[in-house]
Chain A
Amino acid sequence: MEQENQPLFGLSIDNQIASTVSSSVQWAKVLAICGMILGSMFVLLGVLFQSLMARSISMGGGGLESDTVNRNMAAGASIGMAIYIIMGGLTIVGNIFLLNYAIKTNRALKTNDGSLLNTGFSGLRNYFAFWAVLMIICLLLFLLTIVTAIGSR
């Protein structure tokens, strides 16, 4: 009789652990929403920075008359905007995975749907994988910058 109560593979999500997962999901949702707000702010800041620089250049660049200086300032502003937009976009994409996990896992716990729980945790796996790969790329760029800086001396 007791054996019949045992889950087929030995592990289960009971009422108590379901509330722990539910709480984790709520915090993940908060984290995802905050991340999306921060990502959007990055994008806005990039666009704002570029437009302010463009206006400053068109008004004479604060006394800077040289065309070369103006061109350099415009290029710098565009690069700055691109960096901000890429950073913001990546932050938003990463947090979409987390929001996906939060929404699907929450629904799975409410409807007791095992396959939806799997999909939810796949979202969490994607979130961790996304940040791990991104962090590796950033570390490589960081190392490349240091090596280039040391090599140029």
Chain B
Amino acid sequence: MDQHQNQQSSLFDMDLDNEARYSFGETARWAKFLGIVAIVGLVLMILFFLAFGNRIAYALANLFPGGITDFGTTIIVVMFILVAICSVLLYFLFRASNNIRTGIITNNQELFNDGLNALKLYFMIYGIISILTTLSSLLNAF
């Protein structure tokens, strides 16, 4: 019985060797780096819109005189939505990279699993957003 259980376990379990640990560790390191760069970009973008938001709104109002009346509010709403989505994505990216890396360093299976779960959620949210973006782009194009 015990032997049977062992056989079943080895059938589904994939032990991580040194090469796999290196590969997962490197992926987590680059994911963290991407997260940090994305945060810098997000902060720069917010600063840019805080500094030049009024001028952009004024220029857009001149460019589309019959369009949206309050470009300032529209920019703030769009920025808020963008920052909220990016924050959620970055949270899961950081959680995935930190937990996978710590899990590998400390040999903690639970943390490692949590990291892979966070990576799944990251791809899920990003996937849904990209489906919506692609559909809206295709609808606009045709």
- Interface residues in chain A, defined as those with a beta carbon under 8 Å from any beta carbon in chain B: 1, 4-5, 7-18, 20-21, 23-24, 27-28, 30-31, 34-35, 37-38, 41, 45, 108, 112, 114-115, 117-118, 121-122, 124-125, 128-129, 131-132, 135-136, 138-139, 142-143, 146
Contact A8 B123 (CB under 8 A): no
Stretch at the interface among B6-14, B56-64, B68-76, B77-85: B6-14
Interface residue from A35, A117, A138, A139 paired with B14 (Cβ < 8 Å): A117
Main secondary structure of the interface of B (DSSP, over half): helix
| Any A CB within 8 A of the CB of B116 | yes
Knowing A11-B21, A121-B27, A139-B37 are in contact, say whether A5-B14 is a contact too (CB < 8 A).
no
Count of B interface residues, CB-CB < 8 Å: 49
The count of A-to-B residue pairs whose CB atoms sit within 8 angstroms is: 141
| Any A CB within 8 A of the CB of B87 | no
Complex interface: chain A residues within 8 A of B20 (CB): 114, 117-118, 121
Query: Most chain-A CB neighbours within 10 Å: which of B16, B21, B117?
Result: B16
Chain B residue with Cβ nearest A98:
B123
